[in-house]
Amino acid sequence: MTFLVIIFILILVHELGHFFAAKRYGVWVEEFGLGIPPKIIGKKIGETIYSLNLFPFGGFVRLHGEQTEDNITKPKRAFINQSKKVKTKIILAGVLMNFLLAIVAFAIVYTKNGIPRQSDKVLVTQITENSPAFNAGIKPDDVVKKVNDVEIATVDHFISEVDKFKGKEVTLSLQRQNQDQLEEVTLIPRESPPEGEGPLGVAIVNPYEFYFPPLWQRPFIGIYYGFREAIVWGLAIIAGLFTLVKNLLTGTIPEGIGGPVTIFALSQKTVSLTERLNLLAFVSVNLAIINILPIPAVDGGRLFFIFMEKLTGKKVKPKIEASIHLAGIVILLSFLVLVTFKEIRMIRNLGIDGYIQYLTELQGE
C-alpha cells in the first residue's frame, strides 16, 4: 500500500506542476486525470475535463496541441504554438514540483525529529581486545572528557593529544553511562600499534545529536535543511548517473541500480512516518533528476528539442519528434524490464531483507 501511495503522490504532484503552469500561461488544458485510463468518470468544468481513471498510478495532463498540429481548434492556446519560453516553463514545472515535494518531505522530517548536529562528545564505540584501552577497562559508550588535564571536545584533538604520549603513561578522564562522576584510567599508548588499531586500540566518534529549535523556528529551519538535503541527494544521484552511463557503455548494468521492484521492497520495510517521508523525498529527487535529462520521452527530451530549435532556428516536425519520443519510450521500457528482472532475481536469491541489506552496504561503500 505504501508503494502505491508513493507512486500516486509522485506522479500526481509532477502532473499538477504541468497543469498549474499551463493554466497560468493560458494554454488550453483539455483534461486533467487522476489515475491512468480507462476512464471511470469525468466531469467538464469550464473548458477542462476532470477525470477519475481505473489504475491508481498518479495522473496525467492533456494539453491542446501538445504532440501534433492536427485537429487544433484554438491555435493561440495550443501548446505547440506557444513561445519557447512558455513551453520551457510548462515542462520544467513538473520537475520543479517534484523537487519541492522532496524539500517539503525532508522539512517535515527535520521539523518533527530535530536538526542533527555533531556533538562535542568524544564517544568510544569499539575496543580492540588486548589493547591498552581494553586492559585499562575502557568500555564502549564511555565519553572521553580529558587527556591528562586537557579538556577534549573533538576526535582530532583527542588523537593529537594521545600521540604526544606514545610509550608514556597518560591518564584519561571518562564519563561513564548513568554516572555523574568522572572516572580516571591510566594507560600507555603504543608506539607501533597493529595496522588499523591506533595507539590505544579504540574507535571513537563525535556522535550526532538532535537539536530542537524553538517551536516557531522549526518549520523555517526544517525547510532550510530540507532544501540542503534535497540538493545533496540530487548531486549524489547525478554522480551515480555518470557511473551508470559509463557502465552501460561497457555493456553492464551497474550494481545497486534500482527500479520499481526496489522501491516496492524498500516501501515494505518503511514503518514509521519518518521512514516513509524519507523514501518519498528520495524517490521524488530521483524523478526530478531523471526527468530533466535530455532523453526522449521524458521532460528533458522535450526541452532538448526546444533548445535545438533555438540553436539552429529550425523546428523539428511534430510527427518526427513524436516518433523519436516513442522510440525513447521503447528503449526506456526495455531497460526497465532488464533492471526489473535483475531485481527479481536478486530478491529470489537474497530475500527482501537480504536485498535491502545488500543495497545498504553498497550505499556505504
Paired sense of beta strands 122-127 and 143-147, if any: antiparallel
The residues, ordered by sequence, that sit 6+ positions from 258 with a Cβ below 8 Å of its Cβ are 339, 343, 359
Mean pLDDT over each residue of the chain, to the nearest integer: 85
Among 35-39, 53-57, 120-124, 277-281, where is mean pLDDT lowest?
Answer: 53-57
Place of cell 565519553: 143
The winner for highest mean pLDDT among 112-121, 139-148, 207-216 is 139-148
pLDDT at 349: 75
End-to-end CA distance of the chain: 31
Residues 230 and 242: their CA atoms lie apart, in Å, by 19
Domains of the chain: 83-115+216-364 (no CATH), 120-206 (2.30.42.10)
Q: What are phi and psi of 160, to 5 degrees?
A: -65, -35
Calpha distance 365→240 (Å, rounded): 13
| 289 has a pLDDT exceeding 80 | yes
CB 107 within 8 A of CB 219: yes
Query: What string of H, E and C letters represents the secondary structure of the chain?
Result: CHHHHHHHHHHHHHHHHHHHHHHHCCCCEEEEEEEEEEEEEEEEECCEEEEEEEEEEEEEEEECCCCCCCCCCCHHHCHHHCCHHHHHHHHHHHHHHHHHHHHHHHHHHHHHHCEEEECCCEEEEEECCCCHHHHHCCCCCCEEEEECCEECCCHHHHHHHHHCCCCCCEEEEEECCCCCCEEEEEECCCCCCCCCCCCCCEEEECCEEEECCCHHHHHHHHHHHHHHHHHHHHHHHHHHHHHHHHHHHCCCCCCCCCCHHHHHHHHHCCCCHHHHHHHHHHHHHHHHHHHHCCCCCCHHHHHHHHHHHHHHCCCCCHHHHHHHHHHHHHHHHHHHHHHHHHHHHHHHHHHHHHHHHHHHHHHHC
Q: Output the pLDDT for position 360.
A: 60
Residues 6+ apart with CB under 8 A from 210: 113, 114, 115, 116, 117
φ and ψ at 290, to 5 degrees?
A: -65, -40
Q: Cell 523537487 maps to which residue?
A: 99
Q: How confident is the model at residue 27 (pLDDT cuts 50, 70, 90)?
A: very high
Residue 50, strand partner residues:
32, 43
Q: pLDDT band for 135, please (50, 70, 90 cuts).
A: very high
Give the C-alpha separation, 108 to 106, whole Å. 5
- Residues with Cβ within 8 Å of 304's Cβ and at least 6 positions away in sequence, in order, are 294
| C-alpha torsion sign, points 83, 84, 90, 91 | positive
Model confidence pLDDT, tens digit, residues 198-221: 899 999 998 888 888 888 888 899
Contacts of 259 (CB under 8 A, 6+ apart): 336, 339, 340, 343
Q: Please, which pLDDT band fits residue 226 given cuts at 50, 70 and 90?
A: very high
Of residues 232 and 258, the one with the higher pLDDT is: 232
Q: How far is CA 300 from CA 29, 115, 151, in A?
A: 21, 34, 55
Quick one: which of 185, 150, 180, 155 has its CA closest to 169? 185
Model confidence at 275: pLDDT above 70 = yes
Taking 60 as the threshold, does the pLDDT of residue 227 lie above it? yes
Q: Report pLDDT for 283.
A: 87
Arithmetic mean of pLDDT, 70-83: 84
